[in-house]
A and B are shown apart, each in its own frame.
Chain A
């Protein structure tokens, strides 16, 4: 029995080169505010189990019509998050945002409280369950489409929680009249938006009040690090360009990228590693990386 053990001790140090060994927990994260039980996936880098260090956390939000498991199941490469967690020694959390929760506390649908959920309940649960850096300097947030809106919206409204935020193909303007979509698609999405924001065109205009394009002054005051990207064939390209223009005009630092592609998982799989590289630079500057 000695020999296999020796063999193992020789082989084990090599395995990090061969395979990704990040581990994924599916966690119950109940919402007291909404009186519902929701779930999140938590990707723990391989080094986490053996380490005593506190880890930075990336909150990664899904899009409209999606769910918490999307980022682990819908990317062409099913190991994308595992690889990034291992490569950058980062905990990645993908929480539930409902099919169209909008990542906001709805002024009209009183049991839709996803701002409270993501920014308070999820963060508390994660910080109480894992060895995390319990401070904004170790917390970053990004997402795709509606989750891009969510990440920017929540970071802007809770600068004390996140040091940086990103958006991929994000809904930077909730007013869907600014999107490049056909009338059929508009008819499809209308009721979902009306549920959380009221009828488009009514007063007060909750669409305008909750859109990231209209939060530029607050974004400027916060001074968080921002990364924004969108595919040039995406139906959301124009609101992203509009946000970029407003940020440039107001001299607000941000990374802005346009690249090939539409509103697809191929695009998001390509995009996410750039976001993680961007965040890692900030976490490094904050002294919040695990060596």
Chain B
């Protein structure tokens, strides 16, 4: 953990050591650097953390860099994407390869990245879309506009990336979901009844009692937001493992987007709800984003 998260404030000898290690690392293929940042939330009256992966080129460059916001899943934390992938240098390598800043913010264990009308301490739409972006744009040399900002996530974070970008299309150039919860109606998940019940209770706590029928929380889940997705016109990439318990929620969204003619990339591949799957999926997502960023003229050559 110490190696992955160099705190921004470090004592001098450690700093020198970091510098030396940094020099050695730059000789090998992976030289991206990781900061852990405190990001205060006025809305939630608490301070949350984010990891920031800076590509090697960042230090020597003067240009502003595009940013990928990468959200974690349920029961997770901001550290997940740097500590749970089988290859612990995955984000470093992608940041270096594409000259991209990658930010992995905290989303709490079960916030679903909503601004909860009921739970004051769970205001994650505002946190991710306003407080975090301000902090990142004021701390790093970033492209401070839509054309240089993309967002993705896994599972709950896939929902979060799609949900937040659908509500703030002025902030993001593209969005991606890996194994995303594209329908928060737990009846559509292939899970044991106990698990479905516990997650449904979580939505009651966050959003209130469900409406009757197939869409208990219209406007809060992607299968009910297809008109918005169409109107926004953001490039979208959805992927899902065929053995994932969320496969049907993704197929449902894909069907609806085909029906209303919303352009999107949709992938099904081997695998389930696992870190092996996400380690494999992320480079394809980043390739997708890099094309959008290139077309927007904001990539660092």
Q: Which chain A residues have a beta carbon within 8 Å of chain B's beta carbons?
A: 17, 232, 244, 248, 253-260, 270, 273-274, 277-278, 281
Contact = CB atoms under 8 A, between A and B. Distances in A.
Interface string B237-281: 000001000000000001000100001111111100000000010
Nearest to B258: A232
A258 B266 contact: yes
Contacts of B287: 273-274, 277
A281 B269 CA distance: 14
B291 interface: yes
Specify which of A232, A254, A278, A281 lies most central, judged by the most chain B CB atoms within 10 Å of its CB: A232
A254 B270 CA distance: 6
B244 to A, nearest CB: 13
Given A256-B268, A258-B258, 13 more contacts: A232-B258, A253-B269, A253-B270, A256-B269, A257-B265, A258-B266, A259-B266, A273-B287, A274-B284, A277-B283, A277-B284, A277-B287, A278-B284
Specify which of A244, A270, A274 lies most central, judged by the most chain B CB atoms within 10 Å of its CB: A274
Nearest to B237: A259
Contact of B269 (A17, A255, A260, A270): A255
Interface of B: 242, 254, 258, 263-270, 280, 283-284, 287, 291, 301
Contacts of A281: 280, 283
Given A253-B270, A274-B284, A277-B284, A258 B254 contact: yes
28 contacts: A17-B301, A232-B258, A244-B268, A248-B242, A248-B268, A253-B270, A254-B269, A254-B270, A255-B267, A255-B268, A255-B270, A256-B267, A256-B268, A256-B269, A257-B267, A258-B254, A258-B258, A258-B265, A259-B264, A259-B265, A259-B266, A260-B264, A260-B265, A274-B284, A274-B287, A277-B283, A277-B284, A281-B283
Contacts of B258: 232, 258
A194 B56 CA distance: 58
B67 to A, nearest CB: 22
Nearest to B283: A277
A72 B195 CA distance: 53
A239 to B, nearest CB: 17
A130 B263 CA distance: 42
Contacts of B269: 253-256
Nearest to A257: B267
Contacts of A277: 283-284, 287
B229 to A, nearest CB: 13
Contacts of A232: 258
A99 B154 CA distance: 44
Given A248-B242, A270-B291, A281-B280, A260 B266 contact: no
B237 to A, nearest CB: 8
Contacts of B301: 17
Nearest to B286: A277
A268 to B, nearest CB: 14
A248 B301 CA distance: 40
Nearest to A252: B270
A224 to B, nearest CB: 13
B257 to A, nearest CB: 9
Nearest to A291: B29
A73 B268 CA distance: 31
A287 B285 CA distance: 24
Contacts of A278: 284
A232 B261 CA distance: 10
B249 to A, nearest CB: 16
Contacts of A253: 269-270
Given A274-B284, A277-B284, A257 B264 contact: no
Contacts of B263: 259-260
Nearest to A17: B301
Contacts of A259: 263-266
A273 B242 CA distance: 23
Contacts of B270: 253-255
B121 to A, nearest CB: 39
A244 to B, nearest CB: 7
A168 B16 CA distance: 51
Contacts of A258: 254, 258, 265-266
A269 to B, nearest CB: 10
A267 to B, nearest CB: 12
A117 B292 CA distance: 39
B89 to A, nearest CB: 14
Contacts of A256: 267-269
Contacts of A254: 269-270
